[in-house]
Amino acid sequence: MFDKILIANRGEIACRVIETARSMGVKTVAVYSDADRASKHVVMADEAFHIGHGPAPADSYLLGDEIIAIAKQSGAKAIHPGYGFLSENPDFVDAVETAGLVFIGPSADAIRKMGLKDAAKVLMEKAGVPVVPGYHGSNQDTDHLWGAADAIGYPVLIKAVAGGGGKGMRLVERSEDFTDALASAQGEATTSFGNADVLIEKYIQQPRHIEIQVFGDGTHAVHLFERDCSLQRRHQKVIEEAPAPGMTQEMRDAMGQAGVRAAEAIGYKGAGTVEFIVDGTNGLRADGFWFMEMNTRLQVEHPVSELITGVDLVEWQLRVAAGETLPAQQGELSITGHAFEARLYAEDVPKGFLPATGTLTHLHFPAGCRADSGVRAGDTISPWYDPMISKVIVHGPTREIALSRLSQALEGTEVGGTVTNLAFLGALAAHAGFAKGDVDTGLIARDLDALVAAPEVKPHHRAAAAMQALDLVEATWDTGFTLWADLHRSVHLMHQDEIFEAMVEVDGPDRQIWTIGEDQIVANRIGGRWDLGGHSLPTLSQAGARITVYDDYGLVFDVIDPLDRDASAGGDLNVIEAPMPGLVKAVFAKPGDAVKEGDRLAILEAMKMEHSLLAARDGVVAEVLATDGDQVEAGAALVRLEED
């Protein structure tokens, strides 16, 4: 076994790898960017080295040569790439091996073989893995592709061979729409991947995304059963589970064997995932799954497979990379119970899932769940990386019990200092169709309105926030409650863009009478615990002017200075700003254009997503201050409208 490894990553996956390495007696070396000097993974590792010249991935975690030099210098014998960053970069694998180090993962050759969809499909077909019917040949002539689409039968899907995450993908319903859709897919494929080639597939309606966890030693492979990742929003996974609801033994065997054939066909080494698309319209059938792609890395959602099999996949990665054969034979692997993983993000769900930033003033996970997290209370979710706060992972003897444990875990999770998707996750965990196992990739979009409905804030929540704002929670005769303080006080608070005033009549340290709009709430402290009109006071936290009430997944209130109300309620409607640092993908406005409120003026790519920037009012464009390809800071003015 290696005595020391370097982890070329950050956040929760770096912490996850360090934990297993430590348990195996393997020393760890962390690397960190400017933005991560005091991060959890840096503190956890035995040694840590600064890399790069800026927080952006291209200036830090993607600097393969610098990372390899640090591995050599520190005496690490192997590099674990985590996921993302350099994990599926075959040139990096070559460079690691040329430097005399071990890459903890597959060979460069295996990564290259799965890199392009058309070549991968040809290879998989030869290996006896079912692939979606379609055309994946080299003839890219428009008429030829059109003829292929007509022969397959509509609807068809055009996919960029170099694509991923839905980019360069077009659904075509009718033959007469084909050539326009093709041109558009080719254009997007060229800008995004520098490769215009496409393939054509039969479109699978209401698909489910079921993937097989595989593990190889370079020659032989086993599978660790399936995960269902159908709960997605715009190609971002939200909740994953294992095993898949409704899976039959026959289909599981067929899919597992197909996964193993895929892995063995490319001499796969380490942890990998073979993604299949499944026709979910008529239940699961052993002949109703088709290969989509193989991810040649450990995946974010690997913990659900760990919880149902009892295998530590990172331990297996280290052992196989160090030269051991497969740690278990297929017959030794079995499924126990059911597991779910929910991805907790700093994001503003009512604002269209906009990634959020902020310093976590409070972070608590309840007992009974596994929280894989790369941050602690006091850490900052910066705009530079994925805004994941934690994965909340649960296991139970049955799907029903595991799902209720997920709900419980989400209800008991407390995050202060930023908005999160916790309420959205809680609503999904309580979704009736999800509970029945009726999952498909369209579920979230179909029920989006109900899933994102903000929980209704109740009078006692407002009173709780106001008590915190006026420092009336802890006050006692001993700690500063004074008879001569004002007995009538008030505070302005804002919750979800709505400002309200809370007025209080303080009747001694243990009794307050609150008036908030039409509501009156009497607060009584009994035996040291506050009761607010029949509700006990929830946990509270405060950071600066922001107060979080830990009920209904965390309700955020901002204390408003009444004199400054205009400034806090709305911004400058004349200027369209970048809400976070990112890359300007497109600007649609030209000076002199008349625009309407809500018109899309630009697209900003940040945190792996594209964000539309909209006009805040009707007006005329005065100035365009950014062009395609610009890297901009948060707050940068992109488009200015003429003064009204």
When the beta carbons of 199 and 224 are compared against ligand MV4, the nearer one is 199
For the CA atoms of the chain, what is the radius of gyration? 27
- Site string (413-452) toward ligand MV4, x via CB under 6 A: ----------------------------x-----------
For residue 165, the minimal CB distance to ligand MV4 (Å) is 6
- Site string (377-406) toward ligand MV4, x via CB under 6 A: ------------------------------
Stretch that binds ligand MV4, among 107-115, 196-204, 216-224, 342-350 (CB under 6 A): 196-204
When the beta carbons of 202 and 585 are compared against ligand MV4, the nearer one is 202
Stretch that binds ligand MV4, among 71-79, 197-205, 469-477, 525-533 (CB under 6 A): 197-205
Determine which helix (DSSP H) or strand (DSSP E) holds 639, and give its type and residue range: strand 637-641
When the beta carbons of 120 and 494 are compared against ligand MV4, the nearer one is 120
For residue 130, the minimal CB distance to ligand MV4 (Å) is 12
Residues 276-315 contacting ligand MV4, CB under 6 A: 277, 292
In angstroms, the CA 330 to CA 19 distance is 26
Torsion of CA 200, 201, 207, 210, to 10 degrees: -100
Residues 136-195 contacting ligand MV4, CB under 6 A: 157, 166
Which of 232, 296, 357, 418 contacts ligand MV4 by CB under 6 A? 232
Contact (CB, 8 A) for 451 and 424: yes
Question: Is 40 a residue that touches ligand MV4 (CB under 6 A)?
Answer: no
In angstroms, the CA 79 to CA 68 distance is 8
Contact (CB, 8 A) for 30 and 11: no
Burial status of residue 570 (CB atoms within 10 A of its CB: 0-12, 13-18, 19 or more)? exposed
Catalytic annotation, residues: 297
In angstroms, the CA 522 to CA 514 distance is 6
Question: Is 235 a residue that touches ligand MV4 (CB under 6 A)?
Answer: yes
Q: Does the N-terminal peptide bond of residue 383 adopt cis geometry, omega within 30 degrees of 0?
A: no
Strand partners, 498: 495
Reference 250, options 287, 292, 208; nearest CA is: 287
In angstroms, the CA 606 to CA 579 distance is 10
In angstroms, the CA 273 to CA 597 distance is 44
Stretch that binds ligand MV4, among 122-130, 179-187, 202-210, 554-562 (CB under 6 A): 202-210
When the beta carbons of 76 and 204 are compared against ligand MV4, the nearer one is 204
Contacts of 582 (CB under 8 A, 6+ apart): 383, 604, 605, 606, 607, 611, 631, 632
Please measure the distance between the N-terminal and C-terminal CA atoms of the chain and give it in whole angstroms. 70
Residues 521-550 contacting ligand MV4, CB under 6 A: none
For residue 394, the minimal CB distance to ligand MV4 (Å) is 23
Q: At what angle do helices 117-126 and 249-265 cross, to 10 degrees?
A: 110
Question: Is 132 a residue that touches ligand MV4 (CB under 6 A)?
Answer: yes
Stretch that binds ligand MV4, among 204-212, 253-261, 476-484, 496-504 (CB under 6 A): 204-212
When the beta carbons of 149 and 547 are compared against ligand MV4, the nearer one is 149
For residue 292, the minimal CB distance to ligand MV4 (Å) is 6
* Site of interaction with ligand MV4 (CB under 6 A): 132, 157, 166, 201-204, 207, 209, 232, 235, 277, 292, 441
